[in-house]
Structure 1
Amino acid sequence: SSLHLSSADTAFLVSADLFACGLVTLVQCLGIGGFGIRLPVIMGVTFVGVMPSIAIASQPGLGLAGVYGATIAAGLIVIPFVPLAGRLRAILTPTVTGTAMLLIGLSLMGVAIDWAAGGRGAADYGAPRHLLLSGGTMATILFVSRFGGRFLANCAVLIGMVAGFLAAIPTGLVDFGTAIASPPLRLVTPFHFGPPIFDP
């Protein structure tokens, strides 16, 4: 939403992200050459790169192609340091990683508040139905986390999202029009936003 992408481009980004996470999961589980820990793990995306990505994409002449160039360059720079990561455990204590997670959460809080209020620029921004819906979703997540068993507690965010989505349907906040009009299967294609731009 910060980059004012269309719903189709936003859906494409989410699909591309999930596809890339699936590929990396296979590399981690199966191992390819010297890459992969060969353990049953599921790789996901991190929010660490959200703010730098928005900053890069907002620059004239860069856009998302600049984000992809920066991501590729960062990956190539980091690869030689991967064998040293295990030795950093003494430095990366729970206090350090917890502080980093807290700062990431705080930096994203403005976006979450905008979404909870109905989305920046919405005519009914801050309407009670938006706030009640987001509050109910959060309450569901906290309730399941606290009182659900171990498995349910691990699924609390998913359960909260489903509950919030179902509660939003009768309020008229859910529009199935875009989903119905979209093709049932769409391939994730490279260079959807153009070839990567490498800008020092």
Structure 2
Amino acid sequence: MTTTHSTDSTAAPVANNDLIYQLDDTPAFAPAIFAALQHVLASFVGIITPTLIIGGVLGLGAYVPYLVSMALFVSGLGTFIQAKRIGPVGSGLLCLQGTSFGFLSVILSAGFIVKGRGGNEEEILSTIFGVCFCAAFVEIAFSQFINKLRRVITPVVTGTIICLMGLSLIKVAMTDIAGGFGAPDLGALHHLGLGGLVLATIVILNRFPSQVVRLSAVIIGLVLGFGVAWYTGKVDFANMADVPLVSIPVPFKYGFNFDWVAFVPIAVIFLITPLETAGDLTANSIISKQPVKGPLYMRRIKSGVLADGCNSAIAAMFNSLPMTTFSQNNGVIQLTGVASRHVAFYIAGILVLLGLFPAVGAVLQLMPKPVLGGATLIMFGTVAVAGIKILTEAGLHRRNVLIVAISLGLGLGVAAVPEVLSQMPDALKNIFGSPITIGAFSAILLNIFLPEEHLELEENDYDPEAHLHTVLQNPQNDSATAMPSTNRDTLNAAPRTS
């Protein structure tokens, strides 16, 4: 008994050995701000890129700097709400909120509808933000029922969604390492060398026994990469003079318009993104050593999705795109070992300042794509591994393997060959063009309609103590030869009782 107690007491801390700061720990200012900076650097490009894409495609050039500032500002507000948990709103986890890529196609469609009617830039923006504000309440309403969908939000479904998140984003990281989308010298050796330098730096520092070194691995890798890029002439500060000093948030600055034709597809996406959010929150819970079943977990999912909807409404009010919980920051938690939700308050403050003072954000925009790619490759891979961990714990028996195989195949297949949807109506193409969306739908439907397998005996269900008791009581009926070999070894190794 003494030996067993000693073993258990030693093993208990090992379960949380990967975390330097637990969820409710309060780090000192220095480690907290250091961890916060790494989250900001990992997510900065993801926050502003949807705005840059929509501004470029819809020809909103003169408005883009202000829209980028507002994207950062509302990301800070949303991150604070998600981590602080104000009443029933917020998961209470170290989650970073940012503009969602999932809405790109439907928002572009809404913009083209207004543009086709002869609307100017401000009319386009007033319609986009007006429609997004109203559609956000679809997710707010949906969040109140999501905790009742336990048959839908199962480990095999969330594990598949999280896997798809990580795997589908790896293409983005690799493209950044190669130079970024549209780079004329995509795949040039100097791009690969820069990305490889950042990647190697983070890996090496992350294996150091020192917590301080591990905590700073990502930011040191990014700073080193940025410094090398600047030294070799790949960072240009020429356009910094045109950046305004301050951006003042003005609610519905461009007006408020509504269009039913634009509303419906955006509302549909607001019914899909909660599944992605649920997957992100589940991965975050796993990495943060929090439960992924039971009432606390379901309350976090419900409150986190509600926060997503509320933050999207706030984003539309302050002239930005819909919000979602970012998955790459789960990778930062894994790499730094800091899961404290108090770090999110520092992240929120930094993002708000970046939004109010765009000159600071403009410097970060100069970060070369290969530098970011070297860091995000590890983070996206970590997200995929978190999904794999959920799936293995759910049990990869024949039914679950079928669900995962089909869902991953459809999701990654659409990502690899988007032309497969080319003959579909635009509305369906917008919905199923996302690998996460089609994979999530597939996993949910298969999980609902494929019957559960009832195995008579699984190795994990075997109780060696009960079997030993039976053998001792009825030695003539010993069936130890029929048990799994691992359990036979356990019995054979056990001390014999006289």
TM-score, normalised on structure 1? 0.69
Deviation at 1:156, TM superposition (A): 4.0
Which shows bigger deviation, 58-67 or 22-31?
Answer: 58-67
Percentage of matched positions with identical amino acids:
33
For 1:94 and 1:155, how far apart are their aligned partners in 2?
Answer: 33
Q: Which residue of 1 aligns with 2:494?
A: none
Q: What is the letter of the counterpart of residue 69 of structure 2?
A: S
Paired with 1:89 and 1:161, the residues of 2 have a C-alpha distance of 41
Candidates 222, 228, 232, aligned match of 1:161: 222
Once the two structures are TM-superposed, the CA of residue 42 in structure 1 deviates from its matched residue by 5.0
* Aligned position for 2:89: 36
Question: Which residue is 1:23 aligned to?
Answer: 77
Q: Deviations over 1:136-155 (max 9, x none)?
A: 22222333334365565455
Distance in 1, matches of 2:136 and 2:196, equals 38
- Aligned letter for 1:141? I
Aligned partners of 2:226 and 2:133: how far apart in 1? 35
Larger deviation, residues 59-68 vs 70-79: 59-68
Tell me by how many angstroms 1:174 deviates. 0.8
Give the whole-Å Cα distance in 1 for the aligned partners of 2:114 and 2:173. 26
Contact 2:178/2:192 (8 A) holds in 1: yes
**The structure with more radius of gyration:** 2
Cα distance 1:55–1:85, how it changes in 2: closer, same or farther (>3 A)? Answer: same
Provide the rounded CA distance (Å) in 1 between the counterparts of 2:61 and 2:236.
Answer: 12
Q: Which has the higher contact order (CA 8 A, sep 6+)?
A: 2
Cα distance in 2 between the residues matched to 1:108 and 1:136: 20
Q: Distance in 2 between matches of 1:90 and 1:153?
A: 39
Aligned 1:142-181 pairs, distance under 5 A? 142-147=203-208, 149-150=210-211, 153=214, 156-181=217-242
Gaps of 5+ in 1: none
* Further displaced range: 16-25 or 92-101: 92-101
Secondary structure of residue in 1 paired with 2:97: coil
Amino acid at match of 1:119: G
Distance 1:157 1:14 in 2: 24
Q: How many pairs does the alignment contain?
A: 195
> Is 1:124 equivalent to 2:185 in the alignment?
yes
Q: Which amino acid aligns with 1:54?
A: L
Give the partner amino acid of 1:44: L
* Residue deviations 1:79-136 (CA, integer Å, cap 9, x gap): 2343445556786455543432331233333333332222333332221111111122
Counterpart for residue 245 of structure 2: 184
- Take 1:186 and 1:193, find their aligned partners in 2: how far apart are those partners? 15
Which position in structure 2 is the counterpart of 1:61?
113
Which deviations, in whole Å up to 9, do the C-alpha atoms of 1:23-44 show, x marking residues without a partner?
Answer: 234445272xx543595x5542
Structure with more of its chain in helix, by fraction: 2
For structure 2, the residue ranges without an aligned partner over 5 or more in a row are: 1-51, 116-123, 265-498
Is the contact made by 1:145 and 1:152 (CA closer than 8 Å) also made in structure 2?
yes
CA contact (8 A) 1:141 1:156 kept: yes
TM norm structure 2: 0.32
- SS at structure 2 position matched to 1:175: coil
CA RMSD in angstroms comes to 3.9
Residues 164 and 2 (structure 1 numbering): CA distance in 2 closer, same or farther, change over 3 Å? same
Q: Give the whole-Å Cα distance in 2 for the aligned partners of 1:18 and 1:160.
A: 23
Structure 1's 26 and 125: CA in aligned 2 closer, same or farther, altered over 3 A? closer
- Quote the Cα distance in structure 1 between the aligned partners of 2:258 and 2:212: 43
| Residue in structure 2 matched with residue 113 of structure 1 by the alignment | 174
Return closer, same or farther for 1:54/1:37 CA change in 2, 3 Å cut-off.
closer
Matched AA of 2:234: L
1:72 pairs with one of 128, 133, 136? 133
- State the alpha-carbon separation in 1 of the partners of residues 147 and 210 from structure 2: 32
For the Cα contact (< 8 Å) 2:179–2:187, is it kept in 1?
yes
Aligned to 2:199: 138
Q: Deviations over 1:43-101 (max 9, x none)?
A: 42257x31x32222443236984764564344211223434455567864555434323
Distance of 1:11 and 1:187 partners within structure 2: 12
The farther-off stretch of 70-79 and 1-10 is: 1-10
